[in-house]
A and B are shown apart, each in its own frame.
Chain A
């Protein structure tokens, strides 16, 4: 029964053996277990396996067989990408890099015994553990909403079936209907994400349903690339998008999924689609491991090690590290620092000073791309920003098109860096 719940790829025999008798087969070879196969986990697993050339035993635990990248899922909503084009599988990580890929849920961590328990019943021993579980939602963050309401009021903030559902709801909106987004408070995954999403929804509605309206209730007075988005919304979708910050009650929101209403500062609004993006916290496994401080798992930027347990590294959205935004690019960047530090600790390879970078591209409309980015370094206190740039308002159409094309190149680059 338990076996039905997990699946093995690639080195099936070796893994099955090591699961049943971990101390025999794996002996002598350092073991790294990675929980979460996204931009942080997949990148870390691949870089450790690739760099160590078999000297480190790498196991990647990821529940889904097909991974949909959260980045570019907005472009799917806007009709610029197909769902298949953001779908990835783990076959190459197993076949080309010898990573043990286990499709199962990690449900517990015994930090003393240094084992990870899987829902299927297995226990995976580790010398170093990487947790890169992404985000979960804070219970009760939006009054009236919880995960049981997610089919009526999707978050679509983990890509895949939720994104498909939201797209279908947008396309089924009545003429002149209302799409409402409840935007999240800081900090959250992908700071420009909600606003790129609004741009993409507007792009679809402009073609299919031009009298429709978009309402954003936002607890934040300011958001990422705000001037760029507002200029883009005016240029492409003039009048369609209404943004309500805290000055307009955007921070006092309640939803009713049965009635399909959103109450903003006491005023009831009937809506046709309600995209609730609640406040976020580290993926639940961090909480279960007992390495959170508040909603996130604090780490040191030098190595991405947990400040609570040095045998655990936390990557991406789940960690509290300092100045980097929670993004796929950041997770990928942090993964390489962790991979380098783990190889150095386990096999004695050279350790170099940590360097990080991030760039977030957003699409405002057809061929209208903007970006924001920065470089970072590790200090004892945090990951600190070194230098940065942001696209400017009023840029030429040529530059915006080049920026968009650059984002396509980046997507191809990062996904091949993650999945081989």
Chain B
């Protein structure tokens, strides 16, 4: 079981899983272009290593370890795409597959440096925006640029162990670390008390992809799923 294939599988599961629903073997087989039997075999191995929760009839879910790796890969992939496209001026069509090959070799340190490098104030202002640790749906740098030109802004800081509020379970606690969104939404969230470093607790998660209710500064606040998925917390100290 090579590291590369582990990472590819986890990323695929992550990609396919919408709203935390289980992903079927057929879906994975199609996405990776691998025979279903080989997929099943691999999934069992991944489950043994506690990267996923797998049951033959229900499908596959990422564990928190698995998600962390998948998010990491997503981040590396996007950073590399930006680097290849913006700095090396490589044609947009080739950027994706190139980044797919390179992402597995990029160390965490190099990733950090690359991030800093791209953030350098001398570069284009769009470069100041980092890559969604949660959003793998972005297909190309162009789309990424578009996302930023829509006026998405960020507050707080990235670090490795962040988890989106929409992925927390009821009763879980965390500290606000990083929020991404349009200026108005960010301002509103800050106004409602979600400033970086603030402790929150998930009171309730509505079923069917509904909103999340948080306890923040002794007030209760409901955030729609879309907004909640862009608010990241640090859960480490609390656990």
Is chain B a partner of chain A in the same complex? no
